Amino acid sequence: MPEICRFYGIIIALFYDEHNPPHFHARYGDYKVVVDIRSLVVLEGKFPARALGMLIEWASQHKDELLKDWDLARNGKTPKKIEPLN
């Protein structure tokens, strides 16, 4: 599971050979979520409201990069790091 970004205690990663729809995984302490890249909807899991807000803001700013990384990971290649939320 390559880590692609980390900020404010939130760790974002993609898995290799994942199923559709394109999505990423995020952890924050004991919380975990899976987020659809295109719609930014939480597919499973829970995050505290403030952490989820920061995560979705970050994802909306980096949607194109996330989709490119999704394709890389699906093809067994290492995804590129993405800049954290500023």
- Domain regions of the chain by residue span: 3-74
Model confidence pLDDT, tens digit, residues 3-52: 999 999 999 999 987 889 999 999 999 999 999 999 999 999 999 999 99
pLDDT of residue 50: 97
pLDDT of residue 12: 98
pLDDT of residue 83: 98
Buried b (16+ CB within 10 A) or exposed e, 15-50: eeebeeebbbbbbbeeeebebebeeeebeeeebeee
Predicted TM-score (pTM) of the model is 0.94
pLDDT of residue 86: 81
